[in-house]
Amino acid sequence: MSITVSDVSRRFGSTTALHPLSLEIKQGEMVGLLGPSGSGKTTLLRIIAGLEAPDSGSIHFGDRDVTRVHVRKRRVGFVFQHYALFRHMSVFENVAFGLRARPAGERPSNAEIRDRVQHLLERVRLDTLAKRLPAQLSGGQQQRVALARALAVEPEVLLLDEPFGALDAKVRLELRRWLRHLHEEFGFTSVFVTHDQEEALELSDRVVVMSNGRIEQIDTPQALYRAPANRFVFSFLGETNRFGGKHQNGRLQQGEAWIAMERSNIAPEEVLLRPHELMLTTAPDGRAHLPVRVDAVSPVGSDVRVELTADWMDTPWLASITHHDFDRLQPERGSELYVIPSRWHQFAPESP
Amino acid sequence: MSARAARVLPGFSLSLGVTLLFVSLILLLPMTSLIGQLSTLSWSQYWAAITDPRLIASYRVTIGAALAASLFNALFGLLMAWVLARYTFPGKRLLDALMDLPFALPTAVAGITLATLYSRNGAVGSLLAPLGIEVAYTWLGIALAMAFTSVPFVVRTVQPVLEDLPGQADEAALTLGASNLYAFRRVILPHIWPAVVTGTGLSFARSLGEFGAVIFIAGNMPYRTEVVSLMMATRLEEYDYAGAAAIASLVMLVSLLLLLAINLWQGRFYRHLHGGRH
Amino acid sequence: MKRIGDGAATRIGLIALAVIMTTLFLVIPLAGIFYQALAEGMAPFWQNLTSTFTREAIGLTLLIALLTVPINLVFGIFLAWLVTRFTFPGRRLLQTLIDIPFAVSPVVAGLLYLLLYGRTGWLGSILSEQDVQLMFAWPGMVLVTVFVTCPFVARELIPLMQAQGSAEEEAGVTLGAGGWTLFRRITLPNIRWALVYGVILTNARAIGEFGAVSVVSGSIRGETINLPLQVELLYQDYNTVGAFTSAALLAALAVVTLMIKAMLEWHTHRREKTA
């Protein structure tokens, strides 16, 4: 089931949560709505679900206009941020709720309900915990109950509000992969909200980056990371180092520090650099003169993160270098080094 | 249009309808009759009705006794809340349950019991009489009855606040070398102060209107031991409905202002303690 | 953990003071009721308890409670649902209005109804033309009791439902549940203890209400005397044992109320701990 959002807007009192925006989500796609808090991503998700009504615009599921269809009749699976499990019901009854709530004529028989719930619980690997109450489960297990409950009514659209927000890092990673598998297996269309760029980039077929009630960019994770549409998207998608200065004689200069470059018309006074785009050396060369002091070193994971300070920076920089480079340079707190940027990015200044 | 569609949960119209019907019939409609009755009075008649000397004496008695009762309850309630929130001891649950007795016990029952116990030949009164303390048929008896019926207010507003107070605050104060009393005054009291004031205010408001418990022990002597509620009842018995309505309007106004003040006070401290949110 | 006032002397001193004061102030009066009722032995107590007068008073008391509690239960649920699940203009005002019966003297409550439904009241005069008399009759006593006890259920439910939020109900709606299913299967199980508690408080007050009821009762023997009014009447007649017999009955009900309340609190406390 494809989802079409056309010119949807929403205000709460005097604040505009969503400026008119449009979005196409294809059948079977998994789309992440990514943005900081207050960007309108949750409002958009709730409007798609029917938990909020838009002030203007329309929502279509396939060809069906569902703008005025009550959430009860929309057939969406919704996974709430803190799961909203029915705390007084067992895991089994939670999952069975949607089936039992159907009007008498459409309700499956008890045996059928039992089979279907049992099957779903096996799917989410909770069949041994069917009799437990939600409070007796771990966060990850609760999350899986919430998913099974939403899937029990066989929705064509699955919507998830910060699905992994309340879980610790390890469980998060596991559940992410599992959700991806489930999505591919069941073939429904999924939309989820997150403020974690890593989560959005790993899970989604396409990512919708939002800020201040507007869509900043819609793209595949690769395209998004490689070609961010604007300064906001760039800085939201990863660690960002900023170099600001004045252009003179083919250099962007700030005090004693400079980078050799042509004058850019888009952003004449600043460049942005990712941590992995910084090379550390013991001497400057013709490409740049950026003297820095090492402030902290943390060898985490596949590369080493080095925090750098200097008088010409407004905020400290972060470089990530390979273990190979780390062994060669042996940087430690207080070491004096030079940065040579391998690449940089320039964007038009953000309009406030 | 979209605002109505936005109500996701069912039952808005039904619950609004039921509530408004109930509020109109049970609360608002009777109040219109008060206004109707008052409109039969001229300003000077109204003024005369609420400044009758015997009535003014009853204002004094009621407010004085209610003040004494609520101050007593502030201290007693603080003690009980502290003991129930901080200590464990055998019989604690019984003591805790007893705190609600004055709300569960009908006021008339409390009234005749206190009047009997504290009369000059009653079980307690006979012990106090040789000391020259007269409780029944005096101002003290009225205060006693008011205090009895409003015991739970301070206990039940302070107790949860004390229970929520994190233990680290205590420990921090004690590690800094503070004495018990000093630590209580500087660390705990500021925290529970709003609840104490709220509970005392509620206790005072309730005492002002108390009727059933008071009339038996008061003796109801004009100018000396009559309370305002009794004055209203007396006017009604004399079929002076306008006079009763005049007093009632004043009583309602004072009660509502008191309630409003308590709510505002509570709201202010709630905001204060929660960093401006809500 | 070390806490302020944990020293043995402070602790024992304060507990002792609390127990002594509670005994003087609350336990002795409670015991006094039963002592006075049985002061002349079992026989007069039993005689008073089984007299027609008492039986009629009990009947009326139960009738009032039986009508008041369901009315305020239904109203309390609707009001709590309305103010915790929706936002609309006038919501705060509504909540303040509901507190009025709490704030005013019960005599004022009785007076408001007397002015409205009494023979001189505008509604009362219309009704008396139809030969309907509410004042100085049991329907009037029910009405004022409904007024006096209307905040209890709602006041128990509103803070709880506000704290619980509506996420579970929203989840129910996305799963296709209709209004009644939603209430019965999701809301009700979550609020049932608060609901029972509210009913207990409403019931206790409905049984024990004196001030408001005395204004509209007219004290007609066998018709408009409930237990609290009977207590007053017998006491004024210097029938001390009789008054305290009915008082003991009411006090016994109060003790049962306290026991149920303590049990409920213990129950919810335990649930919170396991959750």
Tell me, what CATH number does C266's domain have?
1.10.3720.10
Q: Name all chains with 3 or more CB-CB pairs below 8 Å to chain C.
A: A, B
Does residue A162 share a domain with residue A244? no
Chain B residues touching residue C214 (CB < 8 angstroms): 233
Q: What is the CATH number for B159?
A: 1.10.3720.10
Strand, coil or helix: what is C3?
A: coil
- Decide: C234 and C242 in contact? Cβ < 8 Å: yes
Picking from B4, B7, B8, B9 by the largest number of A CB atoms within 10 A of its own CB, the best residue to mutate is B8
CA distance B4 to chain A (A): 9
- Taking an 8 Å cut-off on Cβ atoms, the answer to whether B2 and A71 are in contact is no
**What residues make up the domain containing B225?**
51-271
Of B14, B104, B236, the CB nearest to C215: B236
Cα gap B240→B106, rounded to integer Å: 28
**What residues make up the domain containing C140?**
38-274
Total number of domains constituting chain A: 2
- Taking an 8 Å cut-off on Cβ atoms, the answer to whether A98 and C185 are in contact is no
* CB-defined contacts A:C, below 8 A: 66
* Location of structure tokens 């958009």: A44
Edge to edge, the sheet with strand A157-161 lists A76-79, A157-161, A189-194, A30-34, A206-211, A214-219
Chain B residues touching residue A51 (CB < 8 angstroms): 8
Q: What is the CATH number for A147?
A: 3.40.50.300
Asked if the structure places residue A144 within a domain, the reply is yes
Asked if the structure places residue C165 within a domain, the reply is yes
Write the Ramachandran bin of A292: left for phi over 0, alpha for psi from -120 to 50, otherwise beta. Answer: beta
Chain B residues touching residue C123 (CB < 8 angstroms): 29, 33
User: Which of A 85-104 lie inside 8 A of C, CB atoms?
Assistant: 85-89, 97-98, 101-103
Question: From first to last of its 275 residues, what are the pLDDT tens digits of chain C?
Answer: 567 777 788 899 999 999 999 999 999 999 999 999 999 989 999 999 999 999 999 999 999 999 999 999 999 999 999 999 998 998 888 988 888 898 889 999 999 999 999 888 888 888 888 888 888 999 999 999 999 999 999 999 999 999 889 999 999 999 999 899 999 999 999 999 899 989 999 999 999 999 999 999 988 888 899 999 999 999 999 999 999 999 999 999 999 999 998 888 887 776 665 54
Asked if the structure places residue A92 within a domain, the reply is yes
Of A72, A82, A85, the CB nearest to C173: A72
Which residue from C53, C74, C59, C105 is spatially nearest to C207, judged by alpha carbons? C59
Total number of domains constituting chain B: 1
**What residues make up the domain containing A168?**
3-236
Task: Determine the residue of chain A that is closest to B4 in CA distance.
Answer: A53
Asked if the structure places residue B43 within a domain, the reply is no
Chain C residues touching residue B32 (CB < 8 angstroms): 116
Asked if the structure places residue B214 within a domain, the reply is yes
Please check whether residue A66 touches C, CB under 8 A: no
Q: Is A287 exposed, middle or buried (0-12, 13-18, 19+ CB in 10 A)?
A: middle
pTM of this structure: 0.86
- Taking an 8 Å cut-off on Cβ atoms, the answer to whether A50 and B8 are in contact is yes
Strand, coil or helix: what is A317?
A: strand
pLDDT reported for residue A116: 94
Structure-block tokens of residue A306: 């080095």
- Taking an 8 Å cut-off on Cβ atoms, the answer to whether B5 and A68 are in contact is yes
Q: Please state the φ and ψ torsions of residue A263, each to the nearest 5 degrees.
A: -70, 130
CB neighbourhood size of C47 (10 A): 13
Chain C residues touching residue B107 (CB < 8 angstroms): 208, 210-211, 228
Asked if the structure places residue C78 within a domain, the reply is yes
Asked if the structure places residue C26 within a domain, the reply is no
Asked if the structure places residue B6 within a domain, the reply is no
Asked if the structure places residue A262 within a domain, the reply is yes
Asked if the structure places residue A348 within a domain, the reply is no
Asked if the structure places residue B152 within a domain, the reply is yes
Asked if the structure places residue C171 within a domain, the reply is yes
Asked if the structure places residue B12 within a domain, the reply is no
Chain A residues touching residue B2 (CB < 8 angstroms): 53-55
- Percent of chain B whose pLDDT exceeds 90: 67
- Decide: B270 and B197 in contact? Cβ < 8 Å: no
- Taking an 8 Å cut-off on Cβ atoms, the answer to whether A101 and C174 are in contact is no
Asked if the structure places residue A351 within a domain, the reply is no
The answer on pLDDT for A32 being more than 60 is: yes
**Boundary residue ending a domain (A236, A268, A294):** A236
Q: What is the CATH number for A293?
A: 2.40.50.100
Q: CB within 8 A of C233, min separation 6: which ones? A: C219, C225
Edge to edge, the sheet with strand A257-260 lists A246-248, A251-254, A257-260, A288-289
What single-letter DSSP state applies at residue A136? G
The answer on pLDDT for A248 being more than 60 is: yes
Total number of domains constituting chain C: 1
Asked if the structure places residue C21 within a domain, the reply is no
**Termini Cα distance of chain A:** 37
Of C168, C174, C190, the CB nearest to A78: C174
Chain C residues touching residue A71 (CB < 8 angstroms): 173-174
pLDDT reported for residue B270: 62
Of C28, C81, C266, the CB nearest to B15: C81
Task: Determine the residue of chain C that is closest to A158 in CA distance.
Answer: C174
Asked if the structure places residue B168 within a domain, the reply is yes
The answer on pLDDT for B3 being more than 70 is: no
Confidence of residue B275 (pLDDT cuts 50, 70, 90): very low
**Boundary residue ending a domain (A173, A208, A236):** A236
